[in-house]
Amino acid sequence: MPRDLDNPYGMEFRGRDRGLRFIRPYRNIGELNPVEQLKLARHPFEVAQAVIDTYSKQGPDSINAVPGEQERLKWVGMYPQRQGGDAFMMRIKVPGGVMTSAQVREVGVAADAYAEGPDDSPVFGNRYADLTTRQDIQLHWIRIADVPRIWQRFWDVGLTTVQACGDSARNVCSCPVSGIDAHEVVDALPVAQAISAYFTGNREYANLPRKFKIAVTGCLEDCARVEINDIGLWPAEQPDGSIGFNVLIGGGLSDGERMASDIDVFIRPEQAVELCRGVAQVFGELGNRENRGLARMRYLAQELGPEGFRAALDERTKFTLDPAGKELTDRFRGDHVGVHPQKQPGLVYVGCSVPVGRMHGIDLIETARLAETYGDGGVRIGTDQNFILSGIPEERLDDLLSEPLLTKYSPFPGPFERGVVACTGSEFCRFAVVETKERAVKWARRLDAELAGNGTDGGGHSDAGVIRMHFSGCSASCAQPQIADIGFRGDIAHVDEHIEEAVDIGVGGSLGPDAAFIDWVSGAMPVDRVPDALLRVVGRYQTERREKEPFHLWARRIPMAELSATLSGTPAAVSS
């Protein structure tokens, strides 16, 4: 992409200076919370030029001199790290998870050049990037002085950090193999990209009550995890045979998790942008701006109910809402690891396992080379924190599989490494109470070493036996533990007269036709006891499971008291 000399940093904004003309911010129903007040005092997009002109030159103290500016940084994809000072996390949006090799290479260069911390991790080393559960990429240890040149390099290849965070539409998720999946009923990638393009930089919709998450998929396996998004679009069919999407509203995790509601609406792909715009207007007008703890759209969806939300939406969209069609999703697929045929004859895609999503910058650069050498030049990021190389001719597959990088990020991993997901944790996040990524990798590798041979066939060749473990360092649920086979949530434990890092443990989560959140069966278990607890509960599953019974269904039929006793290693009566 040639450099835009008039806008070298990619900070493109449109619309009126005072966005959201349909919002009545001075209404008298309660007092606006502090974040709402600071957004009114200074539009969050204004922080972009301030970073370029002032903060990058004068340092982090100049940011603190402007009230509310740390909060506004989220609108350009930045958070201060827990270390404080001149250390920031930068989040890069990847709509639908699809990247070009040039984009992957540039992120790798940025990680290697700008994301170096003061100390090496004993597990991951240094100068790495994190693939996230929302198909973003995060860099750490970014210095404010480097931000403009990073933005400039990203914009040259078509990447942006705008609205990767903040109270606006975040990265739009989709099935990572949209357009190449052999079984999809509609290619959702153009839809996801159009929705993202509409909201990114749009002042009219950049001040919502809270973050606004959208997912759209045209596959049959719920790869985009639509039930836990504010807007979820998944494939459906009308009686006349036309294919489009049914609309789900108000899903989310964190505290107060909620499966999205079906509001009895079917849309055609070309209606998706207007549908999402209308939902954003409903949220912006009716959402809670007084109590930030109740400001997520799921609380509004619960308050209005499916019929009430549909009626509010019908008043604000530019087309008549049609009733829902026949839902087509038939199962939940947790990842795309392994080798799989594409819809294009003679081509395959290769899903590579990245335990907890952490990759060195130099490895991203090598990934870009492999995409160009063996495939169509595309790299795709899944909601499972893994990556996919697409467009591989069948006759080149063996050569690709022999590349050293695919030994490190294997298409055929052990079943526990394959299923492990973790958030940033207390290493960088100000909200996490425990370290996550290093522990999650160690736990998964121990389980693979001791249990993977006991009838648990993960290995990338099939989904059989894969047990998905998601580790979140706090209740914000960035690692999505509520939908995992086994979920961990950071906690603290009082042991004797001191405090130790601990986790709450839940089991039995899934999406798709078997959708249900986990049951939290063990609270505040010190982290050093967790590996043995996992060996016990997974070993019991391997012994007791019925033919082809996945872990989440086994866990749901075992009484919670028994599961708790198994995890803790205490005797309990076992059901027959």
pLDDT in tens, 330-341: 999 889 999 999
| Average pLDDT, integer, range 504-512 | 96
Percent of the chain's residues with pLDDT above 90: 89
Please name every residue paired with 95 in a beta bridge, in sequence order, or none if there are none: none
Classify 78 as helix, strand or coil.
strand
Look at residue 26 in the predicted model and tell me its pLDDT: 45
Look at residue 542 in the predicted model and tell me its pLDDT: 94
Report whether 282 contacts 230 (CB < 8 A): no
Contacts of 102 (CB under 8 A, 6+ apart): 157, 368
| 397: number of Cβ within 10 Å | 16
Q: Select from 129, 195, 202, 138 the least CA-distant residue to 164.
A: 138
Report whether 111 contacts 129 (CB < 8 A): yes
Sequence-distant contacts of 146-152: CB under 8 A, at least 24 apart:
146/56, 146/114, 147/51, 147/55, 147/56, 147/78, 147/88, 147/90, 148/9, 148/51, 148/52, 148/56, 150/90, 150/110, 150/114, 151/9, 151/10, 151/11, 151/52, 152/3, 152/8, 152/9, 152/10
- pLDDT, tens digit, 9 for 90 and up, residues 10-68: 888 888 765 555 455 544 456 899 999 999 999 999 999 999 999 999 999 999 999 99
Rg (the chain; Cα; Å): 23
Nearest-10 Cα torsion for 509, 515, 517, 521 = -50
Q: Could you tell me the pLDDT band of residue 90, with boundaries at 50, 70 and 90?
A: very high
| Average pLDDT, integer, range 516-533 | 97
Report whether 128 contacts 138 (CB < 8 A): no
- pLDDT, tens digit, 9 for 90 and up, residues 460-474: 444 557 999 999 999
| Average pLDDT, integer, range 127-140 | 98
Which residues in 353-485 belong to E strands, given as ranges? 358-360, 378-381, 387-393, 420-422, 469-472
- Residue 258 phi, psi (nearest 5): -155, 130
Percent of the chain's residues with pLDDT above 70: 94
Residues making up the chain, counted from first to last: 576
- pLDDT, tens digit, 9 for 90 and up, residues 250-264: 999 988 899 999 999
Q: Residue 553 gets which letter from DSSP?
A: H
Q: Select from 548, 489, 546 the least CA-distant residue to 522.
A: 489
Q: Could you tell me the pLDDT band of residue 562, with boundaries at 50, 70 and 90?
A: very high
Report whether 267 contacts 318 (CB < 8 A): no
Look at residue 255 in the predicted model and tell me its pLDDT: 85
Using CA atoms, how far apart are residues 221 and 226, in angstroms rounded to an integer? Answer: 11
Using CA atoms, how far apart are residues 444 and 262, in angstroms rounded to an integer? Answer: 36
